[in-house]
Structure 1
Amino acid sequence: MNAPEIRPTTPPRLTSLSHGGGCGCKIAPGVLSEILKNSSNLPIPPQLLVGIETADDAAVYLLNDEQALIATTDFFMPIVDDPYDFGRIAATNAISDVYAMGGTPIMALGLVGMPINVLPLETIGAILRGGQDVCREAGIPIAGGHTIDSVEPIYGLVVLGLVHPSRVKKNSGAQQGDVLILGKPLGIGILSAALKKEMLDAEGYARMVALTTQLNKPGIELARMEGVHALTDITGFGLAGHGLELARGAGVQLHIDWPSVPVVAGARALAAQGCVTGASGRNWASYGDEVRLPAGFSEMDKALLSDPQTSGGLLVSCSADSAAGVLAIFHSQGFGDAAVVGEVTAGKGMIVR
């Protein structure tokens, strides 16, 4: 006779079950580059408009003269303890890559790994409900998926979208003379570190959830603007890491005006108290030699520059005369922190001033 299944009477904190949370779980850029170094040897069909060549946000496959299919996936371990919020954040983050390519999402598939004998089924159900509600807000169904019994809780989505082939916004499209606009403030990784240390107050938590569950829908409208040359979203590699991907892909140099970069309220104070993710240090070790910092740039600011953003904002490279229109789109859709944060010039790498 089998022994009865034993479940805990008090569910553990979700973040206590994972060694990292949100996009801070991502493998460091340098390590990932080494892992993928031989992937370019695979055959590439002519219909594949975007693959792994420039570490773009999603793959894009040409269907016909009017449609290209966007395909992406994203999943991670809990960044918050509330299961419903975890599901919402993970789904928002996954859908973002479609918007970052200029596309409209059409459907999703769920990716679920859960420690079945550790978490109550009600908790797992709340995670899935959070993801479903975000997909409903994005106007797409979760049409299937896959589940496994996992040591750590994992949740995310495969997301498919459509875009006109002429409106695909690669991260390699930036042009010299462009200005850079960031849609959301930095500091989500710092807030998540504070939460794990039980140092984040209710106001900070509400701010964190509001930002990480805000869908990057402006990407659809931005893709229709001729003056918008490149889009990417800032996630696990931080502003510096994803900015460098854009710079490498386009063969340009980014100048970041650091005082203009929006930062989540309270993030600097928390960073000063030691609430910094391990991922920010791994990020900097991978690409710091490509970034030129000004004299006196603090360790706290360096941590913000490399801070892993979960469901972060869009980074837009656009012509100077399009900047006002780009900001108007962001602001009209509730992205009040969107701001011009730099420019694109000849050269390579990144200069912070």
Structure 2
Amino acid sequence: MSSQIMDKSESGGCGCKIPSTMLSKILSQTAKANTVQNKKVALGFESSDDCAVYDIGEKYLLFTTDFFSPIVNDPYVFGQLAASNAVSDIFASGGIPLIANSIMAFDPEVVSAEQVSQMILGAQSVMNKLNVSIVGGHTIKNSQPLYGFSIIGEVEKPRLKKNNTAVAGDLLVMTRPIGVGIIANALKSGLIDQEDIGSSTLVKIVGDNSIGRVLSETNGVSSLTDITGFGLIGHISEMVGLGNLDAELNTDALPFYEGTESIAVSVTSPDSGVFSNIKKYAQYVDYQTDLPLAKKFLLHDPQTNGGLLFTVSPESYEASRQEWGLLCPDLTVIGKIEKGTGKIRIY
């Protein structure tokens, strides 16, 4: 017996992440148990970055894993999202994805073979476009459908980008609107159907972040990450998390997916990832204006396959703006980085 795959999802997409406060507590208690010191590990847990980085000589090997439960009922679209989201971490590090192993779980009495096939075909369409070979995987029975990938990629050493290396004076730039979590909640609550999502919006939601590879060519791009389950504020906090920088965020410039501001409050429940993110990152946020509740929710909205967030010198941005804009029409300057104490000042 088959059913709508999203109906079996308790919380969809990157909104199904363990609350960041709990995750931080777990890692603080277990980090010391990892006593293996491998000098070729160039980047691991220490900065909550997008990929593990391993030195293989002239290049770095990149490794990441990402999987989640459905945010849509269309299994083909779910597969596209799972693939694009997984390879995003490689692009957010400036690299090229090479090979992938799939991670899948579902209840065979609820999810049909045809639905699973459509999930795989959706993911394969993305991997084919990006020239990524799916070389294996692992599938288990589970009451909640899950799908994703572990990805191996590579990057030339000068092109590696990290999430916490922003420079005072940089611009803060986004490549895609936010509000995917709000849309997912509206779908799950029945407020909207997938047919209500405009085709241009759906193309962006399932799109890839391969522009990260282009951004890595520019030395003036000082830090780079993708916006996922911890929301825009959470990922900005990683950029200023070392404590000697502040971010100024212009909410009037923020691009939101169409219609999300009008439904954000009505579809956000107290047990959602939005409230978890608000609690986690409250210490970093300094509101300089009375922000509507809908916008506040969107700032903390967990994104599934969200766009990229990067910092870049004004000179480099101006020199590359036209080229980048052709590749990424939604490219938007949303603020700037200044010397400070690790705060996000919201205007």
Q: Provide TM-score, normalisation by structure 1.
A: 0.93
Equivalent AA in structure 2 for residue 179 of structure 1: L
Structure 1 CA distance, aligned partners of 2:168 and 2:38? 30
- Residue deviations 1:7-47 (CA, integer Å, cap 9, x gap): x2xx2221110110011111121111111114442244222
8 Å CA contact retained: 1:56, 1:170: yes
1:55: how far off?
0.5
- Segments of 5+ residues of structure 1 without an aligned counterpart are 1-7
Structure 2 CA distance, aligned partners of 1:218 and 1:106? 16
Structure 2 CA distance, aligned partners of 1:280 and 1:129? 31
- Segments of 5+ residues of structure 2 without an aligned counterpart are none
Equivalent AA in structure 2 for residue 148 of structure 1: I
8 Å CA contact retained: 2:262, 2:294: no
- Alignment counterpart, residue 133 of structure 2, candidates 137, 141, 145: 141
Alignment of 1:194 onto 2:186: yes
8 Å CA contact retained: 1:54, 1:249: no
Structure 2 CA distance, aligned partners of 1:150 and 1:46? 38
Structure 1 CA distance, aligned partners of 2:251 and 2:60? 36
- Alignment counterpart, residue 286 of structure 2, candidates 281, 292, 300: 292
- Residue deviations 1:294-350 (CA, integer Å, cap 9, x gap): 2321211110100111111110111111113453343222x2121001111112121
User: In structure 2, the residue corresponding to 1:248 is in which secondary structure?
Assistant: coil
- Residue deviations 1:233-277 (CA, integer Å, cap 9, x gap): 0011100001101111474211111111111111111214x0226
Number of matched pairs: 341
Equivalent AA in structure 2 for residue 131 of structure 1: A
Aligned to 2:161: 169
Structure 1 CA distance, aligned partners of 2:190 and 2:131? 35
User: In structure 2, the residue corresponding to 1:268 is in which secondary structure?
Assistant: helix
Q: Aligned ranges for residues 50-129 of structure 1 at < 5 Å?
A: 50-64=43-57, 66-129=58-121
- Alignment counterpart, residue 241 of structure 2, candidates 239, 248, 254: 248
Alignment of 1:18 onto 2:9: yes
CA RMSD of the aligned region, Å? Answer: 1.5
Aligned to 1:349: 343
1:351: how far off?
0.9
Structure 2 CA distance, aligned partners of 1:83 and 1:94? 16
8 Å CA contact retained: 1:86, 1:130: yes
Identity across matched positions, percent: 34
Equivalent AA in structure 2 for residue 101 of structure 1: S
Aligned to 1:4: none
User: In structure 2, the residue corresponding to 1:125 is in which secondary structure?
Assistant: helix
Q: Provide TM-score, normalisation by structure 2.
A: 0.94
Aligned to 1:218: 211
Aligned to 1:5: none
Structure 2 CA distance, aligned partners of 1:219 and 1:288? 29
1:129: how far off?
1.1
Alignment of 1:229 onto 2:196: no
Structure 2 CA distance, aligned partners of 1:77 and 1:127? 12
